[in-house]
């Protein structure tokens, strides 16, 4: 008896994947619905290892899905809902065709909604999982919050995006979670840290809505993504507010209530409302304590006993702590020409108070005439009326201060000054083995003192010393010569006395040596010896590197050496260049002096 022949592609990669068309047939869904449910449930097309086998021998590139994914979808209750919706849509279509508009309106009114909150929990089993995936969600929600109602985007979606984003910003303000800001031409990059997760998102600059060309982006798909992200962001907000002891939903300005949505047609008015909403302080849950401070970092005995790392971590924590209360108690006033949204958010994040012109925008808390204002943010070359009690700075000072994690000296950011470049805080800190010219170092680290600073006082001192040197080299001055001679004589005299002393000491030593008992000498460690021993131990440890990693280690070391060498070379070049410049300067000065002297002599 011959065993039954095995069919081709019934096992292995051929059975593992399913084409999109087959999936549609299996799920009995239209392509539109399938796309929607895939996005909602987080099911993505797959790239097989062997395409030919995965496509069961068919050529070309087909969109493939994991069979298990499709089976998983098969048991999703939303699918039944989608099928119901299909019937419902048919009813609407029929009513429209039969011109029963009253019925149609009724159908539209009772249009069933799909509830997807169980999907959020299913895709993100823990809160941290949700936070980890918040980058995309926030960027899209902030983007959609600027959109007017479009054809493919449901009407309430952008309104909801507006509400949720403001709520999220409030949560970040309350948690003091913002860490980095970067103003690019594309928009504002923000980075915050919530529950140990680092979240980065982009907020577009606020322009009037630019019409999107339809052939670039599929709005329907993006809108479906936003549909899910809205759900997710809502629940994340709820959880964040409750963990911060705040009432959810917060009572924001009237613009965010559903009743008045239609009244705010004007985009500018809306933006003003949004900023005003951000300037509100939120209601705390009754009976909750004031925000508890995070305790100091405890040092545990971990296997990683590198004291340097621990020290670094401690320093970092200290810096972050300082950053959180950077603007505490400071009052800021924003001039009307400055884009306010990002500034209000940042200043409030670090504990500052903000206000603006009461006549132009809603939501101002104090007036410009308030004497307690510490900083006024201006973006114009000059102002007529200035208060002595405050600093007038440009907006970039705020961004750079946040990135430097301390209040920067304002002298470079004063009104009308040419600003230093706005550097990105998102550079890779691990790539520290690169040459950095002293100018850049000074920009990155405000405490950095270059060796040859351009400060005028320094220069003067240098000049003075130069003059000294010159004087030494020119023994024309009689007085100078006399004093030098005196000094030399003194020096000549002194050694003879010393010699006598030495002889006495020697004698005493010899006497002491003759005695038997000596006082105990504390063992002194030779630091040089220790260094040598450490080096030897390190080499031994290097020998213990596994064969598997040896090559990698070697290449890493070689790379380090190379980079060091490069840095050294560049530094040397710089040093030589600087010296040459200095020499040139000196020579020039000397010639100038000479000329002046000659001129003076000639006059005489």
Scanning residues 533 to 592, which ones bind other proteins (CB under 8 A)?
551
Instruction: Give the footprint of other proteins on residues 159-178 (CB under 8 A).
Output: 160
In angstroms, give the least distance from the CB of 555 to other proteins. Answer: 10
203: nearest Cα among 221, 226, 224, 182: 182
Near other proteins by CB under 8 A: residue from 182, 345, 350, 392: 182
CA distance 157 to 145: 8
Q: Which one of 88, 225, 391, 435 is in contact with other proteins (CB under 8 A)? A: 225
Cα–Cα–Cα angle for 271, 275, 277, rounded to 5 degrees: 115
Residue 540 tokens read as 């031994």
- Using CB under 8 A, pick the residue from 9, 238, 391, 435 that binds other proteins: 238
Q: How far is the CB of 356 from other proteins (least distance, A)?
A: 15
- Contact track, other proteins, 299-338, x by CB under 8 A: --------------------------------------xx
Site for other proteins in 267-306 (CB under 8 A): none
User: Nearest approach, Cβ of 192 to other proteins (angstroms)?
Assistant: 12
Instruction: Classify 276 in phi/psi space as left (phi over 0), alpha (psi -120 to 50) or beta.
Output: alpha
In a 3-state reduction of DSSP, which class is residue 64?
A: strand
State how far the Cα of 497 lies from the Cα of 185, in Å rounded to an integer: 76
Q: 201 — phi, psi (to 5°)?
A: -145, 165
Task: Give the nearest distance from C-beta 333 to other proteins in angstroms.
Answer: 17
Which CB atom, from 85 or from 423, has the smaller least distance to other proteins?
Answer: 423
Q: Which of residues 185-214 bind other proteins (CB under 8 A)?
A: 185-187, 189, 200-202, 204-205, 207, 210, 212, 214
- Listed in sequence order, the residues at least 6 apart from 250 whose beta carbon sits closer than 8 Å to its beta carbon are 167, 170, 241, 280, 282, 283
Selection from 417, 411, 392 nearest residue 332 by Cα: 392
Smallest gap from residue 295 Cβ to other proteins (A):
24
Q: How far apart are CB 378 and other proteins at their closest, in Å?
A: 11
> For helices 77-97 and 31-41, what crossing angle results, to 10°?
140
Residue 440: CB minimum distance to other proteins, A: 8
Complex with other proteins: residue 48 or 370, whichever CB lies closer = 48
* Residues 440-459 within binding reach of other proteins (CB under 8 A): 440, 443
By CB under 8 A, name the one of 269, 320, 423, 567 that touches other proteins.
423
DSSP state of 70: H
Are the beta carbons of 338 and 378 closer than 8 angstroms?
yes
Residue nearer to other proteins on the CB measure, 240 or 324: 240
Contact call for residues 192 and 131 (beta carbons, < 8 A): no
| Closest to other proteins by CB, 95 or 230 | 230
Both tokens assigned to 51: 């395409």
Restricting to residues 465-524, which ones interact with other proteins according to CB under 8 A?
none
Residue 255 Cβ vs other proteins, minimum distance, rounded to whole Å = 15
Residues 71-130 that bind other proteins (CB under 8 A): 71-72, 75, 77, 80, 109-113, 115, 117-118, 120-122, 124, 126-127, 130
Choices 132-140, 352-360, 404-412, 591-599 (CB under 8 A): range interacting with other proteins: 132-140
Q: Determine whether 65 is exposed, middle or buried from the number of CB atoms within 10 Å of its CB (0-12, 13-18, 19+).
A: buried
> 161, 144 in Cβ contact below 8 A?
yes
Question: 36 to 75, contacts with other proteins by CB under 8 A?
Answer: 42-47, 60-64, 66, 68-69, 71-72, 75
Site residues (CB under 8 A) for other proteins, limited to 339-368: 339
Q: How big is the site for other proteins, counted in residues (CB under 8 A)?
A: 94
> Is 123:208 a contact under the CB 8 Å cutoff?
no
Q: Which residues contact 415 (CB under 8 A, 6 or more apart)?
A: 378, 380, 381, 382, 383, 392, 393, 394
Give min distance, CB of 310 to other proteins, in A: 27
- Judged by CB under 8 A, which of 108, 426, 538, 553 binds other proteins? 426
Q: Compute the distance between CA of residue 6 and CA of residue 8 in angstroms, rounded to an integer.
A: 6
Closer to other proteins by Cβ: residue 563 or 589: 563
Name residues contacting other proteins, limited to 133-152 (CB under 8 A): 133, 135-136, 139-140, 143
Q: Binder to other proteins among 145, 253, 396, 403 (CB under 8 A)?
A: 396
State in angstroms the smallest separation of the CB of 556 from other proteins. Answer: 13
Nearer to other proteins, 161 or 349 (CB): 161
Tokens (6 digits) for 396: 């970039």
Containing 461, the helix (H) or strand (E) segment is helix 456-473
Q: Least distance in Å: CB of 372 to other proteins?
A: 26
Sequence-ordered list of residues with C-beta below 8 angstroms from that of 413, at least 6 positions apart, any chain = 393, 394, 396, 397, 400, 419
Closest CB 334 distance from other proteins, rounded Å = 12
Strand (E) positions, 335-406? 353-356, 375-377, 391-393
């Amino acid at each position: 008896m011959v065993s039954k022949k095995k069919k081709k592609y019934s096992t292995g990669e051929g059975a593992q994947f399913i084409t999109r068309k087959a999936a549609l047939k299996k799920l009995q869904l239209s392509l539109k619905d399938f796309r929607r449910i895939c996005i909602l449930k987080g099911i993505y097309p797959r790239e097989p290892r062997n395409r030919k086998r995965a496509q069961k021998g068919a050529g070309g590139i087909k969109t493939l899905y994991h069979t298990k994914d499709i089976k998983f979808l098969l048991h999703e209750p939303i699918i039944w809902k989608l099928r119901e919706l299909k019937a419902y849509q048919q009813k609407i279509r029929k009513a429209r065709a039969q011109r029963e508009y009253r019925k149609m309106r009724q159908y539209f009114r009772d249009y069933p909604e799909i509830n997807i909150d169980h999907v959020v929990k299913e895709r993100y089993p823990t809160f941290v999982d949700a936070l980890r995936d918040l980058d995309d969600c926030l960027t899209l929600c902030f983007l959609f919050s600027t959109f007017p109602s479009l054809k493919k985007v449901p009407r309430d979606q952008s309104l909801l995006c507006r509400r949720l984003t403001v709520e999220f910003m409030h949560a970040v303000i309350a948690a003091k979670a913002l860490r980095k800001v970067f103003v690019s031409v594309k928009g504002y990059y923000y980075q915050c840290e919530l529950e140990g997760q680092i979240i980065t998102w982009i907020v577009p600059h606020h322009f009037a809505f630019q019409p999107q060309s339809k052939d670039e982006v599929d709005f329907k798909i993006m809108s479906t993504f936003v549909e899910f992200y809205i759900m997710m962001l809502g629940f994340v907000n709820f959880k964040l507010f409750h963990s911060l002891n705040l009432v959810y939903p917060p009572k924001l300005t009237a613009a965010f209530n559903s009743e008045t949505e239609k009244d705010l047609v004007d985009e500018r008015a809306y933006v003003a409302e949004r900023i005003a909403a951000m300037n509100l302080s939120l209601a705390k849950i009754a009976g909750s304590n004031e925000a508890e401070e995070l305790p100091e970092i405890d040092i545990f005995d971990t296997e990683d006993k590198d004291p340097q790392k621990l020290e670094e971590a401690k320093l970092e924590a200290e810096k972050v702590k300082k950053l959180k209360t950077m603007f505490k108690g400071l009052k800021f006033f924003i001039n009307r020409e400055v884009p306010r949204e990002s500034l209000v958010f940042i200043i409030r994040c670090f504990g500052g108070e903000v206000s603006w012109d009461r006549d132009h925008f809603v939501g101002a808390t104090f007036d410009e005439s308030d004497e307690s204002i510490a900083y006024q943010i201006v973006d114009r070359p000059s102002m007529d009326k200035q208060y002595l009690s405050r600093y007038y700075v440009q907006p970039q000072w705020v961004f750079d201060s946040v990135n430097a994690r301390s209040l920067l000296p304002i002298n470079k950011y004063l009104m009308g000054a040419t600003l230093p470049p706005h550097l990105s805080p998102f550079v890779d800190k691990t790539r520290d083995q690169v040459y950095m010219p002293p100018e850049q170092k000074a920009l990155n680290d405000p405490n950095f003192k270059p060796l040859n600073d351009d400060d005028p006082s320094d220069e003067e001192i240098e000049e003075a010393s130069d003059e000294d040197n010159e004087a030494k080299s020119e023994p024309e001055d009689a007085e100078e010569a006399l004093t030098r001679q005196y000094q030399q004589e003194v020096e000549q005299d002194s050694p003879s006395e010393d010699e006598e002393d030495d002889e006495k000491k020697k004698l005493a030593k010899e006497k002491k040596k003759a005695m038997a008992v000596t006082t105990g000498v504390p063992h002194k460690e030779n630091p040089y010896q220790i260094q040598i021993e450490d080096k030897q131990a390190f080499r031994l440890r290097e020998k213990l590197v596994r064969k598997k990693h040896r090559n990698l280690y070697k290449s890493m070391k070689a790379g380090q050496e190379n980079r060091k060498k490069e840095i050294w070379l560049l530094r040397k070049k710089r040093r030589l260049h600087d010296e040459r410049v200095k020499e040139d300067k000196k020579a020039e000065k000397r010639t100038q002096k000479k000329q002046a002297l000659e001129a003076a002599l000639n006059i005489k």
